[in-house]
Amino acid sequence: MSLFSPYVLGDIRFANRMVMAPMTRCRAINGNAPGPLAVTYYVQRATAGLIITEGSQVSPQGVGFFRTPGIYSEEQVAGWKQVTAAVHRVGGKIFLQLWHVGRMSHPDFLSGGLPVAPSALPVNEEIHTPYGKKAIPVPRALGLTEIAAIVRDFRDGAAHAKKAGFDGVEIHGANGYLLDQFLRDGSNRRTDRYGGSLANRARFPLEVTEAVVKVWGAKRVGYRISPHFNIHAMSNAHPRETFGYLADRLSALGLAYIHLVEPVGGKLGAVSPDAQMAPLIRKKFEGALILNGGYGKESATRAIEDGLADLISFGAPFLANPDLPERFMRDAPLNHEDVATFYAGEEKGYTDYPTLGK
């Protein structure tokens, strides 16, 4: 068993255990739809065992970044169909990440409306809008009927992803976005059935998951978490209890995988051994575990061989190295990512990174 061994997830066979992590790239075209460049970008990286797309908002209310793709309109579905068909033609597997940013937005994205959140708590940060960098306003707390409507948005997004030809979906429950905001006690101060106790705070993320599972079946659904994430005014008094509970409930639903962001070193720093969540999630969750957090070839191989994870996801290394699996197998040098073009540049820093021999 190695990083290059095949892996079977439910009824899907991956060629290797290397996953391309979801990465916001801000290249969507008119109507927040993926365009021809996105087709090229994902096909270039289709030697990953699994591609997880950039986060794709499930409704116009879920937008918080300029030129990010959605999965709520026919135009967006048509754009994603071109991506999935092309990836499948070269033998790749691809999941769509379902996303709602919650309070990490601005009225410039929301036709003048306020961002939404579990509670009306400030973020005290700025965000890039179509009209420049602006302060994020204090969001408004969602009403009960609105929460139910967002669950339906995730369900509909999942159905649209199926129509677009994806192999499955990943629910974005990480990085201080809406589902994460509900789960953590630092961002959720509600006193109704969606706040207070851990079971109440987890209710909305689990309702979303159940709705998505009804569309896809549990073995085609994953869930991403980032227990150590502490920017965007995010905090949690008892993270092990919180994420252990969530993992246990996701396991009971039969989910295909949990995608855990846990820094292991490098540019991301490293989580101390006594704070590591992977062993706890491994114990609580019966499905596959994908780890992410600054892995290189050696550290990824060690995590697989030690049984700490089933698959490893790579972000910037896949961004800068379309042929990352081949480079790892051949111990070839890696391209360095151009940070200045992460979120802008059209083909520059997007589809123009060279492969071996080119």
User: Which structure tokens are listed for 67?
Assistant: 């030129």
Give catalytic status of residue 353 as yes or no: no
Are the CB atoms for 356 and 325 separated by under 8 Å? no
Separation of first and last alpha carbons in the chain: 31
Amino acid letter for position 226: S
Are the CB atoms for 167 and 220 separated by under 8 Å? yes
CB within 8 A of 139, min separation 6: which ones?
Answer: 102, 103, 114, 115, 116, 117, 120, 121, 123
Q: How far apart are CA 7 and CA 225, in angstroms?
A: 22
Ranges of beta strands (E only) in 46-114 are 50-57, 94-99
Annotated catalytic residue, options 7, 177, 223, 295: 177
Q: How far apart are CA 351 and CA 268, in angstroms?
A: 25
Are the CB atoms for 292 and 312 separated by under 8 Å? yes
Q: Report the candidate in 83, 10, 73 with the shortest Cα–Cα distance to residue 40.
A: 83
Active site amino acids: 177
